[in-house]
Structure 1
Amino acid sequence: MENEATYRGTVYPWQCDHVGHMNIMWYVGKFDEANWNLFARLGLTPTYLRESGRGMAAVQQNISYTRELLAGDIVKVKSRLLEIRDKSIRLLHEMRNAETGEIAATCEITGVHMHRQARKSASFEVKIRDAAAKHLAPSAPAMA
């Protein structure tokens, strides 16, 4: 799964702040889009979420910014699954400048699978846990 991008896009001038680089709100947005692409690969598709009455909620998010992104830069995010538990998932995103290959930011997120109506955490279905287990990242290697 690490070889396929979970997000590709461009930094637009209106996404930049007074310093001239992409504002932090857009990093968060691009990482969020990567979340949904990764979730879909695990079976947590929009159809599944609608029909099952389930949802995903972020409960922790840690972002490290290492290189600025400027208007016109092409962005690529690769993601890997770090951990799957009964009701939660932990993943890591790497955002790179697609032209230079430099890491611009990383984001580790913990999400909880929930029952939308009850507003409580819910166990993942076995088919979701099984699909996720096939995508668990090895513990150490970096994404290239």
Structure 2
Amino acid sequence: MEQEATYRGTVYPWHCDHVGHMNIMWYVGKFDEANWNLFARLGLTPSYLRISGRGMAAVQQNISYRRELLAGDIVEIRSHLLEVGDKSIRFRHDLTNAETGELAATCEIIGVHMDRSQRKSVPFEAVIRELALRHLVEPVEA
């Protein structure tokens, strides 16, 4: 399923390292910003998280770097929900150079839904799980 972008931005000169390309810390930051836009689409909005006392925690993150990004490049991230469990989701971000369309990096993450006060994982509410299932790359019947 084609998704709308979850992040759009620019590579600024201060994002670049001594080699002249965007440093890895900025890839992680841009992927993190995409996380929150993806979560909001799944009903895990800032309001929901604040009011319910819930949160999301990354427990695994794997990044593959494909092409370098340089100062001035316009970037876009599209996110794909790959799996929905009772308490966790697995998703992938594709970071592309918006001008050339080239894939610059991918990031696959497993995130766990948690109770912030108890500091432990908890199941997603049914309404959120149902919404998430509709966003799967290959949707399953709920």
TM over 0.5: yes
CA-based RMSD: 1.0
Q: Which residue of 2 aligns with 1:114?
A: 114
Q: Which residue of 1 aligns with 2:82?
A: 82
- Deviation at 1:14? 0.3
Where structure 2 has 5 or more consecutive residues not aligned to the other structure, the ranges are: none
What is the rounded CA distance, in whole Å, between the counterparts of 1:119 and 1:5 in structure 2? 31
Where structure 1 has 5 or more consecutive residues not aligned to the other structure, the ranges are: 140-144
- Deviation at 1:138? 2.4
TM-score under structure 2 normalisation?
0.96
SS in 1 for 2:79: strand
Q: How do 1:1-144 residues align onto structure 2 when only pairs under 5 Å count?
A: 2-138=2-138
- Deviation at 1:136? 0.5
Aligned-pair identity (%): 77
TM-score under structure 1 normalisation?
0.95
Q: Are 1:44 and 1:128, in contact at CA under 8 Å, matched by a contact in 2? A: yes
- Deviation at 1:2? 2.8
Q: Are 1:2 and 1:79, in contact at CA under 8 Å, matched by a contact in 2? A: no
How many residue pairs match? The answer is 139
SS in 2 for 1:36: helix
- Deviation at 1:74? 0.1
What is the rounded CA distance, in whole Å, between the counterparts of 2:81 and 2:64 in structure 1? 18
